[in-house]
């Protein structure tokens, strides 16, 4: 059950920019209380007391007992307006929490069992998908947070909303699917190595096949005559046409007549 905070307020007379400005000049923040069967009430709260709560980061999910001239009303902030320059609160809307009703709230998520998780022990990383979950809560049983157990999660395992033990009467506003809250993922170094290996395999599969040109060979496998080099000391072949005499003349050829 979320802890109830105390906050004092005073009745604010008049509405509009003029009375609201006058309240701020006195160090007060204009506010309104609405909801339930009672009529809306215009009040003002101390600015310093309000800022202590707004700076906590959980103001819009904090329950308050708002003391207005001795009359306490259980409320929850529903809207906070900030000054665009100073970032200080300038107006607050409080909603009455009437017994027996339910309210939609963003409830923070926490985790336990990190020291026992096999995936985290192996160097895995906790990937939080949702830091808060919208829940429909009875006004008498609003949880401060919901807690998930990581003690049995390994790498690539996920923790879904069904694994959370919600308080009595509290349900998720998303009921059509068992959505993921967190998962254990592989370390970044492993993921990068896997990506590099996959890229190398893809590049090898898409690389063009290069075929080498065949080398001309003779009958015995030696280079053919066209590519054979002349033997050492061999006389060069005659350069004349077929049937033409050689440069030195044929051996035994008759000498020319005188």
Q: CB of 66 within 8 A of CB of 9?
A: yes
Q: How many CB atoms lie within 10 A of CB 29?
A: 26
> Would you list the domain boundaries of the chain?
4-98, 103-190
Handedness of CA 238, 243, 249, 253 (dihedral sign): positive
- Residue 104: pLDDT above 70? yes
- Please tell me the predicted confidence (pLDDT) of residue 253: 44
Q: Pull the structure tokens for residue 210.
A: 């290069």
Query: Residue 110 has what pLDDT?
Result: 96
**pLDDT band per the 50, 70, 90 thresholds, residue 231:** very low
Cα separations in angstroms, 178 against 157, 162, 174, 181: 14, 6, 8, 9
Q: Are 204 and 197 in contact (CB under 8 A)?
A: no
Q: What's the fold here for domain 4-98?
A: Ribosomal Protein L25; Chain P (2.40.240)
What's the chain's average pLDDT? 81
pLDDT mean over 81-107: 91
> Can you tell me whether residue 170 is helix, strand or coil?
coil
What pLDDT, on a 0 to 100 scale, did the predictor assign at position 61? 84
Q: Report pLDDT digits (tens) over 198-219.
A: 777 777 777 665 555 555 555 5
Q: Grade residue 36 by pLDDT with cuts at 50, 70 and 90.
A: confident
49-53, 208-212, 234-238 — which one is most confidently predicted on average? 49-53
The answer to whether domain 4-98 and domain 103-190 are alike in fold is: no
CATH number of 103-190: 2.170.120.20
List, for residues 124-181, the tens digit of each pLDDT value.
999 999 999 999 999 888 888 999 999 999 999 999 999 999 999 999 999 999 999 9
First to last CA, the chain: 143
């Amino acid at each position: 059950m979320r802890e109830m905070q105390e906050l004092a307020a005073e009745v604010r007379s008049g509405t509009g920019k003029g009375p609201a400005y006058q309240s701020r000049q006195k160090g007060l923040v204009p506010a309104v209380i609405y909801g339930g069967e009672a009529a809306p009430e215009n009040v003002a709260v101390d600015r310093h007391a309000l800022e202590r709560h707004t700076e906590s980061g959980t103001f819009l999910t904090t329950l308050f007992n708002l003391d207005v001239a001795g009359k306490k009303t259980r409320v929850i902030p529903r809207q906070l307006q900030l000054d665009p320059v100073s970032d200080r609160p300038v107006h607050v809307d409080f909603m009455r929490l009437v017994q027996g009703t339910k309210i939609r709230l963003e409830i923070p998520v926490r985790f336990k069992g990190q020291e026992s998780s096999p995936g985290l022990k192996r160097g895995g990383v906790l990937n939080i998908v949702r830091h808060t979950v919208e829940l429909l809560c009875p006004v008498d049983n609003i949880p401060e947070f919901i807690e998930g157990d990581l003690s049995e999660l390994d790498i690539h395992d996920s923790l879904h909303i069904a694994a959370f033990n919600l308080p009595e009467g509290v349900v998720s506003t998303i009921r059509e699917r068992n959505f993921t809250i967190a998962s254990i993922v592989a370390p970044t170094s492993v993921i990068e190595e896997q990506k590099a290996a996959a890229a190398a395999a893809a590049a090898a599969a898409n690389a063009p096949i290069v075929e080498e040109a065949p080398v001309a060979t003779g009958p015995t496998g030696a280079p053919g005559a066209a590519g054979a080099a002349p033997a050492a000391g061999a006389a060069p072949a005659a350069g004349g046409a077929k049937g033409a005499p050689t440069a030195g003349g044929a051996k035994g050829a008759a000498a020319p007549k005188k």
